[in-house]
Amino acid sequence: MQIARVALDVPLHRLFDYLVPEREELSAADVGLRVCVPFGRRSRIGIVVELPHTSELAIERLKPIEAVLRDLPALPADWFRLCEFCATYYQAPLGEVMLSTLPASLRRIAPPKARTNHRRTKPPPPCDPPELTAEQQGALNLIAAAERGFKAYLLHGVTGSGKTEVYLRLIERALADHRQVLLLVPEINLTPQLETRVAARFPSVDLVSLHSELSEAARTRNWRAALDGRARIVLGTRLAIFTPLPDLGLIIVDEEHDVSFKQQDGIRYSARDIAVFRARDRGIPIVLGSATPSLESWANATDHRTPARYTLLSLHQRAIDSARLPVVQRIDTRTEKLQDGLSGALLLAIEKRLARGEQSLIFLNRRGYAPVLACTNCGWISHCTRCAANLVLHLLDRRLRCHHCGSESPVPKACPTCGNQDIQAFGRGTQRLESTLAERYPEARILRVDRDSARNRKQWQALAERIHSGEADILVGTQMLAKGHDFPKLTLVGALGADAALFASDWRSPERLFAQLMQVAGRAGRAEWPGEVLIQTQFPDHPLYAALVRHDYPAFADVQLREREQAAFPPYTFQAMLRAEAPHMADALAFLETAKAWPQAENFDEVMRYDPVPMRLARRANFERAQLLIESPSRRALQTYLGAWGAALAGIKLPAHLRWHLEVDPLEF
């Protein structure tokens, strides 16, 4: 009797053996087919991983496979290696990795018939490639001169320097080579524009997109087209990194620094890091592009002590001759008096734009009306009852909302504690800024762009179109506005409240702030109109702002990396975080103490274990949260440790309602 070893979507670190019915006999080429198997009381879809000769279980105890599904080609061997890498590196069960990366309809019994008509959105007008700038040509020559095989490039180019054009030329080469191309972008919002641009360049090439807002049928259809080789270009967000691509010849990761590449729940993988593994495994080039690369990537490309792992390609100038980088200025708010949070210099600059019919963007990374509502009499403040956080006042629909757990309540008419009717909004969010500006400039058309006004891709696109067609004079927005869009009439960016990130307790905050400010600054003056950026700050001499004024990412990055090295922070050390949450903090901490006290830990002298501590947001949605940091100067040592420790963790007896997870290379603290 033939045995098949099957991966199932269950939270267990093991595979399951089944008998293959004679009529269904499998050959080596059938490894990678989906099967339907009995599991517990029901049937499940699994993937055949191996055809072993023996099983740990006695043959009589093995159950037979119910059906072998041949509606899809077998998943290819390199896809298996990708999933195996992900499972090992992130300490996740292989079956969970494999099945969770399939479109939902393919992991269910009796999948709905995917419609086969391959609809394409109407083809955009074809467009001829521009002549390359010297810098673009230089970057391409370097890549073209390389031998075939794996090579990782970090394409660092200021906003508007023409990185996308470099991608397009590389894609052209790969297509001519009969290879498939995988192009990853951080946000769903960015896929349609890029899709239009790529489709216009390659009108006769099959291009599919993969992201979470596609209908299930569309996602299944696109995924299949990738697997059977019909789709030659796959454009997608982080989940697309797992698309099986038999002819894959090039991977591009745009805005590689973006935290959206990191999955924040379930299997906490970094799509960018997996992409580098995948390129190496397939022996193909990968290009990571950004105006503000992650410090990890920057170190990989510039570290002089070890041979650089990535090749650095730099574009210093904007691609369009007339498009100059914007002038960035600091406004010292210690000396300038603010009116409703706005400095005279910024107001004047806005008025100039209004007079000239140009657009201004005021950037404030905090949505809602005000971060807190408070009683001036007794000191009551609007607290979330489920989280250790304030409720944010949203005045438009008169609600108090928790940005951590989503719970909400109506705005009280009087203080719930003392009955005082004079309760006030403190601080400033995008809604308040919007109404301040509306009062000051009643004729101006003001548009707010944040997660409240653009809840999904459609709404955001509608807003973007209005901005693009000049239907707005002043934009008020969060980082949503910072990404990717070209607004030709936008010539002024004002940044408010940026200082908070300078001294935040998360040591990655400056890196994120710099990237965000570079990105918003990049929105100003993209076409013929020069741009101006005004940053309101109490710390105008801070080196971060000084580097920003000079558009000098390398200087900023080098200072940050030196600090990180001295403090032995990543990328000079490798980390994993064990997190636990429970109704009571004591339970969460006790679990972490038990985990830390693992007797075999003594054998790993390169691995450092810190003490369990409550998380910064110590309570969320009625769960108290704590974490335990594990660290090592050696990635390999950390991996070995985690492999052994992970198995031990699974054996710890848990109190009721305790949940835990392990995150490798955590990004947030």
Question: Residue 424 Cβ, how far from Zn ion at the closest point, in Å?
Answer: 11
Nearest CA to 572 among 389, 356, 210, 299? 299
Q: Which of residues 338-377 bind Zn ion (CB under 5 A)?
A: 375, 377
Question: Residue 451 Cβ, how far from ligand ADP at the closest point, in Å?
Answer: 24
Nearest CA to 610 among 644, 643, 640, 573? 573
Segment contacting ligand ADP by CB under 6 A, of 46-54, 128-136, 238-246, 425-433? 128-136
Q: Is 386 in the site for Zn ion (CB under 5 A)?
A: yes
Question: Residue 407 Cβ, how far from Zn ion at the closest point, in Å?
Answer: 5
- Give 478's contacts (C-beta < 8 A, 6+ positions apart): 363, 364, 365, 366, 367, 430, 449, 450, 451
Burial class (CB in 10 A: 0-12, 13-18, 19+), 119: exposed
Between residues 320 and 618, which has the closer beta carbon with respect to ligand ADP?
320
Q: Is 132 in the site for ligand ADP (CB under 6 A)?
A: yes
Question: Residue 416 Cβ, how far from Zn ion at the closest point, in Å?
Answer: 8
Between residues 47 and 288, which has the closer beta carbon with respect to ligand ADP?
288
380 binds, among Zn ion, ligand ADP, none (CB under 5 to 8 A by kind): Zn ion
Between residues 155 and 387, which has the closer beta carbon with respect to ligand ADP?
155
| Residue 362 to residue 360: CA distance in whole angstroms | 7
Question: Residue 159 Cβ, how far from ligand ADP at the closest point, in Å?
Answer: 5
Segment contacting ligand ADP by CB under 6 A, of 114-122, 157-165, 390-398, 559-567? 157-165
Q: Is 130 in the site for ligand ADP (CB under 6 A)?
A: yes
Between residues 136 and 292, which has the closer beta carbon with respect to ligand ADP?
136
Asked if 525 contacts 487 with a C-beta cutoff of 8 angstroms, the reply is no
Q: Is 525 in the site for ligand ADP (CB under 6 A)?
A: no
Give the contact letters, 72-111, x = binds to ligand ADP (CB under 6 A), - = no: ----------------------------------------
A 10 A CB-CB count for 380 gives: 17
Question: Residue 388 Cβ, how far from Zn ion at the closest point, in Å?
Answer: 9
| Residue 402 to residue 371: CA distance in whole angstroms | 10
Question: Residue 509 Cβ, how far from ligand ADP at the closest point, in Å?
Answer: 24
402 binds, among ligand ADP, Zn ion, none (CB under 5 to 8 A by kind): Zn ion
- Alpha helices, DSSP H, located in 444-552: 457-468, 509-523, 543-549
DSSP secondary-structure letter at 380? -
Containing H/E element for 435?
helix 430-440
Nearest CA to 586 among 624, 551, 615? 624
Among 33, 234, 241, 402, binds Zn ion (CB under 5 A): 402
Question: Residue 422 Cβ, how far from Zn ion at the closest point, in Å?
Answer: 9
Question: Residue 555 Cβ, how far from ligand ADP at the closest point, in Å?
Answer: 20
Q: Is 548 in the site for ligand ADP (CB under 6 A)?
A: no
Segment contacting ligand ADP by CB under 6 A, of 132-140, 374-382, 420-428, 547-555? 132-140
For 389, the 3-state DSSP assignment is coil
Burial class (CB in 10 A: 0-12, 13-18, 19+), 102: buried
Nearest CA to 508 among 257, 233, 275? 257
Letter for the amino acid at 615? M
Asked if 132 contacts 314 with a C-beta cutoff of 8 angstroms, the reply is no
Asked if 7 contacts 107 with a C-beta cutoff of 8 angstroms, the reply is no
Q: Is 162 in the site for ligand ADP (CB under 6 A)?
A: yes
Among 159, 297, 436, 627, binds ligand ADP (CB under 6 A): 159
Asked if 73 contacts 31 with a C-beta cutoff of 8 angstroms, the reply is no
Q: Report the half-sphere exposure of 430 (CA within 13 A, side-chain side).
A: 25
375 binds, among Zn ion, ligand ADP, none (CB under 5 to 8 A by kind): Zn ion
Give the contact letters, 305-334, x = binds to ligand ADP (CB under 6 A), - = no: --------------xx--------------
Q: Which residues bind ligand ADP (CB under 6 A)?
A: 130-133, 136, 157, 159-165, 319-320
